[in-house]
């Protein structure tokens, strides 16, 4: 009986220590693999090219070379020779705003592979997108969708899908900056108060309308406001790193947004919030 119990406990310990099963979803393992990156590769490009061929076949379009976003390999623009060739309005009758929105929804469902650059581990559906802007601009409609399958908003120009469709029901323009979904560490590991402390005494350079170089120095805590967490994709050297970051607004009157990694405290980027 005692031998059986010891053997069973040993089996449990071995099973828990089996490779690939310890800490798979722990904060420590996430931090070790942080930040996750999208690597530019021939494999990713090949998948995107295959998705493009499928798109041309699906909509019975003539052969054309794709114009792709760096690293993501998602469509940057619709080639000029295809503008006005993709039929979105296939039903009889008027093509008003309601019909245009429905036609765009059907297009997104049909072209999902193209919109994610063919990445097999990055599927997207309508439930993952939110229509945040729709405008009636003369002879066409403009629609902007935002990716919603992260717990935080995506910034730095990523996570958007932009579509322009003519009032004749033809697709005129297309741009997708949808990113794959990664399991990021949660919650943040950097205390917002420590970020504020580090900003005191920070100096920002900028130019006035005459081209003169001026500076702004942070003198007190009231000039620093740590905003909500965001997802900040950053492209560097053929790869895109996906950061969980604090958006920190600094300054009075003239302000900057400093993005600080919420896991390791690294400063990711500085954005000037005024025109100089």
Distance CA(97)–CA(143), nearest Å, equals 10
Question: Nearest 5 degrees, angle CA 124-CA 129-CA 130?
Answer: 175
The whole-angstrom separation of Cα 65 and Cα 76 is 12
List the chain pLDDT tens, one digit each, 276 residues. 444 444 434 433 333 333 332 333 344 545 678 999 999 999 999 999 999 999 999 999 999 999 999 999 999 999 999 999 999 998 888 899 999 999 999 999 999 999 999 876 567 889 999 999 999 998 999 999 999 999 999 999 999 999 999 999 999 999 999 999 999 998 999 999 999 999 999 999 999 888 899 999 999 999 999 999 999 999 998 999 999 999 999 999 899 999 999 999 999 999 999 988
Distance CA 142, CA 118 (A): 24
Quick one: tokens of 135? 């405008």
Rounded-to-integer distance, Cα 112 and Cα 224, Å: 41
- As given in the structure block, the two tokens for residue 100 are 């245009």
Q: Which residues contact 224 (CB under 8 A, 6 or more apart)?
A: 195, 196, 199, 200, 218, 248, 249, 250
């Amino acid at each position: 009986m005692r031998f059986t119990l010891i053997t069973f406990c040993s089996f449990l310990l071995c099973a828990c220590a089996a490779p690939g099963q310890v800490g798979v979803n722990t904060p420590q393992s996430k931090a070790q693999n942080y930040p996750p990156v999208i690597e530019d590769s021939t494999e990713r490009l090949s998948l995107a090219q295959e998705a493009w061929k499928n798109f041309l076949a699906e909509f019975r379009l003539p052969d054309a070379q794709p114009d792709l976003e760096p690293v993501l390999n998602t469509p940057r623009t619709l080639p000029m020779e295809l503008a006005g060739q993709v039929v979105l309005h296939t039903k009889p009758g008027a093509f008003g705003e309601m019909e245009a929105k429905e036609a765009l929804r059907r297009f997104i469902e049909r072209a999902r592979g193209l919109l994610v650059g063919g990445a097999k581990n990055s599927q997207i559906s309508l439930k993952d997108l939110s229509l945040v802007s729709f405008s009636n601009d003369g002879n066409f409609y403009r629609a902007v969708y935002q990716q919603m399958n992260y717990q935080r908003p995506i910034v730095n120009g990523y996570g958007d899908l932009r579509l322009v469709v003519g009032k004749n029901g033809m697709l005129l323009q297309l741009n997708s900056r949808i990113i794959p979904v990664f399991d990021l560490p949660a919650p943040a590991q950097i205390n917002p108060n420590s970020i504020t402390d580090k900003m005191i005494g920070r100096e920002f350079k900028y130019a006035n309308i005459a081209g003169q170089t001026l500076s702004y120095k942070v003198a007190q805590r009231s000039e620093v406001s740590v905003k909500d967490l965001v997802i900040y994709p950053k492209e560097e050297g053929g790869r895109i790193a996906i950061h969980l970051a604090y958006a920190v607004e600094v300054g009075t009157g003239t302000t900057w947004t400093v993005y600080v990694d919420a896991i390791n405290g690294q400063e990711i980027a500085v954005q000037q919030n005024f025109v100089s």
